[in-house]
Amino acid sequence: MHQGFEPVFDSQSRVLILGSFPSVKSREVGFYYGNKQNRFWKMLSQIFEEQIEDDIQKKKDFLIKHKVALWDVIISSDLSGSADISLEKSQKVISDFDNIFKNSKIEKVLCNGKTAFSLFTENYNCHLPVILLPSTSSANPRYKIQPWQNELEFLK
């Protein structure tokens, strides 16, 4: 089984962004959205109008500064590749979100793509708004930044 990453959050986090499970490249790099082709970090940089350095600790610091929590719906899986479609057939363990919700100020959950959204809503009974946003993956030709911007605007 491959292990996902620990959540990034603190007591002041106001929004939780959920992916499905780290890609092969992210697992190699050791942090979320490690594939340079993924638009995630560029998107956050553009929305918050701040450069994000390619350093794990600085990315964590950026998230905390902007009150963004980050995690994946799946904490471990035998997924061998990176495609979300393969997650349906893989063995997987769903993350336990109670700690984040109890120890932060999360107001809403933003799901990075359909897989994260369906896995989260099928496996966790959330009392907060859960919003499906277009995947930032380079494999998603329908990606648009505007929905992300609309949902994160309240943090600025």
Question: What pLDDT was estimated at residue 137?
Answer: 95
Phi, psi of 135 (to 5 degrees): -55, 140
Please check whether residue 21 is in contact with residue 74, taking contact to mean a CB–CB distance below 8 angstroms: yes
Are the C-beta atoms of 23 and 85 separated by less than 8 Å? no
Along the chain (156 residues), what's the average pLDDT of each consecutive run of 10 residues?
Answer: 94 98 92 96 98 97 98 88 59 94 98 96 96 96 97 95
- Output the furthest CA–CA distance in the chain (Å, rounded): 39
**pLDDT (0 to 100) of residue 79:** 65
List of domains in the chain: 2-155 (3.40.470.10)
